Amino acid sequence: MHLQGLIEISTVDRGVISLFGVRAELFVAMNSRGRLYGTTVFRDECKFKETLLPNNYNAYESFVYKGYYIALSKHGRVKRGNKATTAMTVTHFLPRL
Q: What is the mean pLDDT of the chain?
A: 90
53 vs 3, which has greater pLDDT? 53
Q: Is 86 exposed, middle or buried (0-12, 13-18, 19+ CB in 10 A)?
A: middle
Identify whether the C-beta of residue 17 lies closer than 8 Å to the C-beta of residue 63: no
pLDDT of the residue at 4: 56
pLDDT of the residue at 95: 73
Contacts of 54 (CB under 8 A, 6+ apart): none
The answer to whether residue 62 scores a pLDDT higher than 50 is yes
- Of the candidates 49, 47, 29, the one whose C-alpha atom is nearest the C-alpha of residue 38 is 29
pLDDT of the residue at 97: 62
% of the chain at pLDDT higher than 90: 64
- C-alpha 82/C-alpha 66 separation (Å) is 9
Band of the pLDDT at 76, cuts 50, 70, 90? confident
Identify whether the C-beta of residue 61 lies closer than 8 Å to the C-beta of residue 51: yes
- By residue count, the chain amounts to 97
Domains in the chain, ordered, with CATH?
7-91 (2.80.10.50)
Q: How many CB atoms within 10 Å of residue 92?
A: 17
